[in-house]
Amino acid sequence: MSTLTEAPPPLAPAEPEQKPVRKRGRFTPYWLLLPGILWLVVFFALPMIYQASTSVQQGSLEDGYKITWHFATYWDALAEYWPQFLRSVFYAAAATLLCLVLGYPLAYLIAFRAGRWKNLIMILVIAPFFTSFLIRTLAWKTILSDSGPVVHTLNSLHVLDLTNWLGWTAGDRVLATPLAVVCGLTYNFLPFMILPLYTSLERIDGRLHEAAGDLYAKPWTTFRKVTFPLSMPGVVSGTLLTFIPAAGDYVNAELLGSTDTRMIGNVIQTQFLRILDYPTAAALSFILMAAILAMVTLYIRRSGTEDLV
Amino acid sequence: MPVVNWLKRRLVVIAGLLTLAYLLLPNVVVTVFSFNKPKGRFNYEWQQFSTDAWKDPCGVADMCGSLSISLQIAVWATVGATLLGTMISFALVRYRFRARGAVNSLIFLPMAMPEVVMAASLLTLFLNMGAQLGFWTILIAHIMFCLSFVVTAVKARVMSMDPRLEEAARDLYAGPVQTFLRVTLPIAAPGIAAGALLSFALSFDDFIITNFNAGSTVTFPMFVWGSAQRGTPVQINVIGTAMFLIAVLFVLTSMVITNRRNKQKA
């Protein structure tokens, strides 16, 4: 492919390893790393250990907690809250898929078709970030309200009959149903899909599209055989950046959902902040962490892109 | 069928613009409803036009106080995370050292972790240490999760920098401090600025980690969360609209300035 790009080779060697090793100041890197890494060790890694230890403790708020290696907490937590776990995975997967389907055309538009509007559209994608996401999520309450135009239109087009049949909505409402929660999740994490997609699309040499066209590929074939495979790094990091926060989210389920749409994040939040059952909450959070890490590792392996960082 | 063909050729553009509309619709609603005069406690249904909330943005008890707490935390978290993160980035790009892999994963993991897990585990640490939850615990948490994003932004910039520029400065008898201040820092500045801007936005808008570790301190997102239960004042929309406008204006002016500079150089 390098023969196709006429750009001169970059001046700086890309590999940091090739740079000369400095003899002086052998301890400089450690001094530079120390404060930041210490911060991450104490306030990110150490809490994980505390959380693991809390999950096998027993006791009460009054008498204090003691480590008793009570692993049954995990089984009890899973037995009681597996529906919320499953729901989180389903909602997050649905939102990620929707983000990909909705985000791809926009990323493609910005990368190849926007012309002089490119910067403006880019700003419009990022700008909503600067309004508190809670305020924007509350706005969906207005948009999807029972007497609003969206629900009215869906109703008259009999879309709601279909979604009712699928179990995504209930009656003449969209609010307080799974559809509203997935819609909110999709909305909130869409920019995390668009930005990596755009970055990887932007790198594709436009002449590859021309070449495909010259070789009698139809636009759809060009997309399937050239554009999409080359944008895979963006697809992988975009889906991860959407799925992970969506699976742990409780804001959308709380603001737009009902008690029937509670996700695992909601359970962890109530256990920790209202019921104050710390061992169960810590166990649930630990399971969520392990599940996400396992899924992410598997996904990265299967999609074959290890150089995400 | 010219119409069908016209549509076919512009299918991507139309789909993309529809997605853009989906992204911006809530902001339109927030803006329109900042001029509403709601009947009850909640501002979800349109009643009548009014500019009351814009004339008296701090008219709701505690809201502007929470806004000022959020701003203070965001500023200090930005300063802390940018400083620590920039130092780490330079060490990662410029030096060889042991345990590079461990350092890299320690920086990557906070970005690959659901926020609720970090929030919950940090709370167990604070509870075990008997720390008083409030301003300081929020600040500690914010610096922690902003750090990784700063490292990613600065690292990308420093890596694309030509090391020969610094060697040239040395050859021209610049000392290490002078080289750093006159050559390295100005080149790395856009990356550092991007990291700082990202930290500010992330910290100011953070809810989940703050929700767990705030104690009785109320940041602006916490105020909005509470108001979703108690009743949403119109002033929330005023703040949301103002933030959106300030952000767009800020980006537009910085774009105009860079455009002008590029033209002057050319």
Q: Where are the alpha helices (DSSP H) in chain B?
A: 2-9, 11-33, 52-55, 63-94, 100-108, 115-129, 135-159, 163-171, 176-179, 185-205, 208-213, 220-230, 234-265
3-state SS, residue A104? helix
**N-to-C CA span, chain B:** 48
Condensed to tens digits (0 to 9), the pLDDT of residues A254-309 reads: 999 999 999 999 999 999 999 888 999 999 999 999 999 998 888 888 876 555 44
Q: In sequence order, what are the beta bridge partners of A65?
A: A59
Which of A16-25, A79-88, B47-56 has maximum average pLDDT?
A79-88
* Res A144 pLDDT > 60: yes
Best B20, B41, B66, B117 member to test A by mutation, with max A CBs in 10 Å, is: B117
Condensed to tens digits (0 to 9), the pLDDT of residues A204-236 reads: 988 888 888 889 888 888 888 889 999 998 999
Rg for chain B, CA atoms, rounded:
23
Output the DSSP codes for B92-128.
HHH---TTHHHHHHHHHGGGGS-HHHHHHHHHHHHHH
For residues A211 and A219, what is the distance between their CA atoms, to the nearest angstrom? 12
3-state SS, residue A170? strand
In this predicted structure, which of A300-309, B29-38, B238-247 has the lowest mean pLDDT? A300-309
* Res A43 pLDDT > 90: yes
Rg for chain A, CA atoms, rounded:
24
Residues of B with CB below 8 A from A41's CB?
A: 106
Q: In sequence order, what are the beta bridge partners of A59?
A: A65
Cα–Cα distances (Å) from B47 to A195, A293, B32, B38, B163, in that order, read 38, 48, 11, 6, 62
Cα–Cα distances (Å) from A233 to A206, A305, B133, B247, in that order, read 18, 7, 41, 30
Q: Is B103 on the interface with A (CB under 8 A)?
A: yes
Condensed to tens digits (0 to 9), the pLDDT of residues A184-201 reads: 999 999 999 999 999 999
Condensed to tens digits (0 to 9), the pLDDT of residues A17-35 reads: 444 445 456 788 899 999 9
For residues B265 and B259, what is the distance between their CA atoms, to the nearest angstrom? 10
Condensed to tens digits (0 to 9), the pLDDT of residues B71-124 reads: 999 999 999 999 999 999 999 988 888 888 899 999 999 988 999 999 999 999
- How large is the average pLDDT for residues B232-250? 91
Residues of A with CB below 8 A from B152's CB?
A: 309
Domain ranges, ordered by start, for chain A = 81-303
* Res A145 pLDDT > 50: yes
Q: Are B30 and A131 inside 8 Å of each other by CB?
A: yes
The rounded percent of chain B whose pLDDT value lies above 70 is 99
In the CATH hierarchy, which fold is given to the domain comprising A81-303? MetI-like fold (1.10.3720)
Instruction: Answer for the pair A195, A271: CB distance below 8 angstroms, yes or no.
Output: no
Cα–Cα distances (Å) from A242 to A95, A96, A239, A265, B107, in that order, read 8, 6, 5, 15, 19
Q: What is the mean pLDDT of chain B?
A: 91
Cα–Cα distances (Å) from A138 to B32, B189, B238, in that order, read 14, 37, 14
3-state SS, residue A279? helix
Instruction: Answer for the pair B220, B66: CB distance below 8 angstroms, yes or no.
Output: yes
Q: What tokens appear for B84 in the block?
A: 């620590």
Q: In sequence order, what are the beta bridge partners of A66?
A: A58
Residues of A with CB below 8 A from B33's CB?
A: 139, 142
Q: How many residue contacts between A and B have a Cβ separation below 8 Å?
A: 267
- How large is the average pLDDT for residues B237-260? 88
| Band (B161; pLDDT cuts 50, 70, 90) | confident
* Res B208 pLDDT > 90: yes
Condensed to tens digits (0 to 9), the pLDDT of residues A108-134 reads: 999 998 888 988 899 889 888 888 899
pLDDT of residue A169: 86
Instruction: Answer for the pair A44, A25: CB distance below 8 angstroms, yes or no.
Output: no
pLDDT of residue B251: 83
Amino acid at B171: D
Domain ranges, ordered by start, for chain B = 60-232, 233-266
Which of A28-37, A269-278, B132-141, B245-254 has maximum average pLDDT?
B132-141
Provide the 8-state DSSP code for A98.
H
Q: Are A135 and B236 inside 8 Å of each other by CB?
A: yes
pLDDT of residue B132: 93
Instruction: Answer for the pair A189, A137: CB distance below 8 angstroms, yes or no.
Output: no
Of B189, B191, B196, nearest to B77 by C-alpha is: B196
pTM of the predicted model as reported, rounded to 2 decimal places: 0.88
Q: What angle do CA A232, A288, B195 make, to 5 degrees?
A: 55
pLDDT of residue A21: 47
Residues of A with CB below 8 A from B228's CB?
A: 134, 138, 255
Q: Are A288 and B114 inside 8 Å of each other by CB?
A: yes
Best B124, B160, B184, B207 member to test A by mutation, with max A CBs in 10 Å, is: B124
Residues of B with CB below 8 A from A16's CB?
A: 92-94, 159
pLDDT of residue B213: 96
Q: What is the mean pLDDT of chain A?
A: 86
Nearest to B19 among A45, A105, A132 (CB): A105
In the CATH hierarchy, which fold is given to the domain comprising B60-232? MetI-like fold (1.10.3720)
- Measured in angstroms, the CA of A165 and the nearest CA of chain B are apart by 25
Amino acid at B55: K
* Res B65 pLDDT > 90: yes
Condensed to tens digits (0 to 9), the pLDDT of residues B173-187 reads: 888 888 888 888 898
Q: In sequence order, what are the beta bridge partners of B36?
A: B49
Tokens 């404060």 found at: A35
For residues B232 and B241, what is the distance between their CA atoms, to the nearest angstrom? 15
For residues B105 and A296, what is the distance between their CA atoms, to the nearest angstrom? 14
The rounded percent of chain B whose pLDDT value lies above 90 is 57
* Res A178 pLDDT > 50: yes
- How large is the average pLDDT for residues A154-180? 88
3-state SS, residue A10? coil
